[in-house]
Amino acid sequence: GLGAGIARAAVREGARVVVTGRRPEPGEKLVAEFAEQGVAALFVQADVSDVAQAQAAVARAVAEFGRVDCLVNSAGLTSRGTLVDTTPELFDAHIAVNLRGPFFTMQAVVKDMLRRGAPGTVVNVISIAELGGQPYLAPYVAAKAGLAGVTRNAAHAHRWDRIRINGVNIGWT
């Protein structure tokens, strides 16, 4: 939903897009929609919780289009857990999807921008929950708060490289 909406907005503004996701059917359907409009687009099946897959998706985008000008990290896991009942497996799943995947995807894109000496943009979809959140979203809050911190850190680190890195604290979508 959210990623598809972002991709559609980018296409409306003239962008070529690479869409990633775990399930091929929705991604391929979206890319077919773009193809009908005459827009160059690519679907890469990737699970952002797997760092190698996330980095390979960036490499595929660069191979296909020659560069990445903008990355939007919009994947998110919102399964429920409180401080008291969250298992280590649930916690790790949230960290993998909501923090580790975006971190290493952002790393791969920024490395490409630095290699080319080119400006670029990264947008991380965070959440207002990173400021506290509902009690039943404890692992989600932990991961999104981490993503907010790394977003600020990367923005500061790469400001002079002309790489703009921002996070958006959206509410429920």
pLDDT digits over 45-75, tens only?
999 999 999 999 999 999 999 999 999 999 9
For the segment 89-103, the average pLDDT, to the nearest whole number, is: 98
For the segment 95-105, the average pLDDT, to the nearest whole number, is: 98
Q: Exactly one of 53, 104, 140, 154 is catalytic; name it.
A: 140
Active site residue 140: yes
d(CA 79, CA 96): 13
Q: Cβ of 153: how many Cβ atoms within 10 Å?
A: 11
State which H helix or E strand residue 73 sits in. strand 70-73
Residue 3 three-state SS: helix
Average pLDDT over the chain, rounded to whole? Answer: 96
For the segment 13-20, the average pLDDT, to the nearest whole number, is: 95
d(CA 93, CA 102): 13
Percent of the chain with pLDDT over 90: 95
Q: Give the per-residue pLDDT at 1.
A: 83
Q: Which two tokens stand for residue 81?
A: 């857990």
